[in-house]
Amino acid sequence: MSKELAIKLFKLYRYSDNNMAVWQRFSRRKPTGGLIKHYVKVKRKRDLGNLPTLTKLADKHKVKSVRVMGGNYKAKVLYTKYINLYVPSQKKIIKTEIIDVVENRANREFPKMKIITKGAIVKTPYGVAMVTSRPGQDGVVNGVLIEEK
């Protein structure tokens, strides 16, 4: 995937207001192609989903609050520069800066686009760390320092 295409996808996910709704129900078709009879004939509001957040590494920190099912609110990190880093040897949590996104198993293009998801490997002044939180769901970026033995 080229960088231009990756940027287009990022903008499509992030800034799409006029796209169709995301529906989180299973398909009406069987693997064989036949129709499944559902007990509900129409789509319900509870079946709506959202596009992925795609938390990006930037100089600013921006959190978006979104209303979800049951009247609750979910904090989504759109941009961030910091990580709450747990250092196992010292048993301490340190708020530190993220220098770079090294690896991301969710998508091989994410490190080029500097997108942080759960499981991403990021570079910090203390060393490399793995992100343990879900920034698009939790509202924070938490991680564990990967110490060499």
The tens digit of pLDDT for each residue in 101-131 reads 999 999 999 999 999 999 999 999 999 999 9
**Contact partners, residue 43, CB within 8 Å, separation at least 6:** 23, 25
pLDDT of 6 over the 90 cut = no
- The neighbour count for residue 46, using CB atoms within 10 Å, is 9
pLDDT of 10 over the 90 cut = no
Tokens of 32: 């064989």
**Can you tell me the mean pLDDT for 134-138?**
93
| DSSP, residue by residue, 67-117 | E-GGG-EEEEEEEE-EEEEEETTTTEEEEEE--EEEE-TT-TTHHHHTEE-
pLDDT in tens, 20-73: 778 888 778 899 999 988 788 788 888 888 888 999 999 999 999 988 888 999
pLDDT in tens, 70-105: 899 999 999 999 999 999 999 999 999 999 999 999
Phi-psi category of residue 91: left, alpha or beta, with phi > 0 → left and psi -120 to 50 → alpha: left
pLDDT of residue 14: 60
At 9, is the secondary structure helix, strand, or coil? helix
pLDDT of residue 63: 94
Residue 85, beta-bridge partner list: 94, 143
Is-contact 120 101, C-beta < 8 A? yes
